[in-house]
């Protein structure tokens, strides 16, 4: 998995985990993607901000500052898909 894909997937599941605090699968998946970023891609100091309809992920990459931006609607789409699937809301 590329670093950019891992950051996006982490951000999506982070949003889901924050919205569905009692969803154990979401919490475990969030931890899984956090491990991918920190262990496999060596990122740390992960921070998220929302500005002008974009999610901005700031981090350090082997000591160097980095940043990625993603449209808010893309980040929130996984959550909407889960919420609209009846089998996940029984």
Give the predicted TM-score (pTM) of the model.
0.92
Residue 52: which residues within 8 A CB-CB, separation 6 or more? none
Predicted confidence (pLDDT) at residue 56 exceeds the cutoff of 80: yes
Q: State the CB neighbour count (10 A cutoff) for residue 72.
A: 14
The whole-number average pLDDT for the span 26-38 is 97
Work out the percent of the chain whose per-residue pLDDT is above 70: 97
User: 36: which 2 tokens?
Assistant: 């991918």
| pLDDT-based confidence at residue 7 (cuts at 50, 70, 90) | very high
The verdict on residue 90 lying in a domain is no
The verdict on residue 17 lying in a domain is yes
Mean pLDDT score of the chain: 94
Domain enclosing residue 18, as ranges: 3-85
* Domain count across the chain: 1
User: 10: which 2 tokens?
Assistant: 């982490």
Name the DSSP letter for residue 46: E
* Sheet strands side by side (includes 54-61): 43-51, 54-61, 64-71
């Amino acid at each position: 998995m590329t670093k950019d894909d891992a950051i996006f997937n982490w951000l999506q599941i982070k949003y889901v985990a924050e919205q569905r605090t009692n969803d154990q699968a979401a919490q475990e998946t969030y931890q899984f993607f956090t491990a991918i970023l920190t262990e496999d891609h060596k990122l740390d100091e992960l921070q998220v901000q929302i500005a002008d309809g974009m999610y901005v992920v700031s981090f350090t990459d082997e000591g160097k500052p980095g940043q990625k931006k993603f449209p808010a609607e893309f980040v929130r789409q996984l959550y909407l898909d889960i919420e609209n699937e009846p089998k996940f809301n029984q």
